[in-house]
């Protein structure tokens, strides 16, 4: 496809294609039907597929996830929308106690093919509970697959791959990138494969979701200063694509991990630990991290001071190359 479309439209098209391909795919969530979702990701789907397949639910995340568990056991493939990242926690018990464990508890007899869509991250000037990055909570739980798209093409393909998966998938959507445009590639990468978004030789910057664009912007500035930065889009947070990460680190000898979430006990912590375990002798500098701070997400007027940005990434590049 040559036409450039927004990530929001790409997700809409991906959901539509999944519903056309499989009558067992149903969408559930607050305002996903008549309104089409607060970000209009499900716009027009209830009109075309009916209220039995695009279901406006009560404001009860635990009820949404619990109902999806029952539907999955009965052979459906539910797609749950959590309206904002900070609203997922009322359904957290259902996700980690049932969705993540049902397959193991049943000795493999019961599949839970549920996709849970969560708009996440900051950058939109939203109020409290509307700009958070809870991905580490879910990546920590065995039994859950956790992925995040960063561009329209991945959004289109990854949502379909997630829905087809027999494993439960937590699908993080970078809300600040919903309106960014791009072309849809003809063929997707495997769902849990990382992507080299920009090739380089001096230092690897690994990011995911909303920070991939920021990392690419930093790489462009770094190139003007004579630094050749490779940008990795992790795409999958659980499982991590360690072969692709290690291949990049073995080439550049340096790694910087970037994300919006808190620094402590985070995805970057895991990546850093695994790289030093598996590629210690390839490293020419310590693994560095550029992340959100270990504080509660700030009021919207202060979020640009809190979020990782181009300058903070460039500072980490300078520090890494100074060793």
192 flagged as catalytic? no
Identify the DSSP state of 302.
Answer: G
Phi, psi of 139 (to 5 degrees): -65, -25
CA distances from 113 to 26, 29, 30, 184, 218 (A): 11, 17, 20, 25, 38
Per-residue DSSP letter, 167? S
Task: Give which of 232, 21, 15, 16 is closest to 115, Cα–Cα.
Answer: 15
- Joined together, the tokens standing for residue 291 give 């992340």
Please state the separation of Cα 111 from the chain's center in Å. Answer: 23
Answer yes or no: are the C-beta atoms of 202 and 321 closer than 8 Å: yes
Helices (H), 39-114: 45-49, 61-73, 92-94, 102-105
Task: Judge whether 61 and 116 are in contact, CB under 8 Å.
Answer: no
**Structure token pair of residue 176:** 């600040």
Q: In sequence order, what DSSP letters do the residues of 189-228 get, joined into one string?
A: PPTT--EEEE--SSEEEEE-TTHHHHHHHHHHHHHHTT--
Active-site residue, selected from the candidate residues 103, 129, 130, 259: 130
CB 220 within 8 A of CB 310: no
Measured CA distances, 255 to 8, 65, 300 (Å): 31, 37, 30
The residues that are catalytic are: 130
């Amino acid at each position: 496809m040559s036409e450039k479309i927004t990530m929001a439209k790409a997700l809409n098209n991906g959901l539509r294609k999944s519903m056309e391909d499989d009558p067992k795919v149903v969408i559930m969530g607050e305002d996903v039907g008549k309104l089409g979702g607060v970000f209009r990701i499900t716009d027009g789907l209830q009109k075309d597929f009916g209220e039995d397949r695009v279901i406006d639910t009560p404001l009860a995340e635990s009820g949404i996830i619990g109902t999806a568990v029952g539907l999955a056991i009965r052979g459906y493939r539910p797609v749950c929308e959590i309206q904002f990242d900070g609203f997922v926690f009322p359904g957290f018990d259902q996700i980690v106690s049932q969705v993540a464990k049902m397959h193991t508890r049943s000795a493999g007899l019961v599949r839970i093919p549920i996709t849970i869509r969560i708009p996440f991250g900051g950058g939109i000037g939203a109020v409290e509970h509307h700009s958070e990055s809870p991905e580490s909570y879910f990546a920590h739980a065995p039994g859950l697959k956790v992925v995040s798209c960063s561009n329209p093409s991945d959004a289109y393909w990854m949502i379909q791959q997630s829905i087809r998966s027999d494993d439960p998938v937590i699908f993080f959507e970078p809300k600040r990138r919903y309106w960014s445009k791009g072309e849809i590639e003809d063929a997707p990468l495997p769902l849990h494969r990382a992507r080299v978004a920009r090739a380089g030789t001096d230092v690897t910057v690994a990011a995911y979701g909303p920070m991939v664009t920021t990392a690419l912007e930093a790489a462009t500035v770094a190139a003007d200063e004579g630094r050749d930065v490779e940008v990795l889009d992790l795409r999958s947070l659980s499982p991590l694509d360690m072969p692709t990460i290690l291949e990049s680190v073995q080439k550049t000898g340096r790694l910087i991990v970037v994300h919006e979430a808190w620094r402590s006990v985070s995805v970057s912590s895991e990546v850093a630990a695994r790289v030093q375990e598996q590629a210690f002798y390839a490293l020419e500098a310590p693994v560095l991290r550029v992340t959100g701070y270990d504080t509660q997400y700030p009021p919207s007027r202060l979020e640009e001071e809190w979020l990782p940005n181009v300058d903070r990434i460039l500072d980490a590049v300078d520090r890494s190359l100074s060793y």
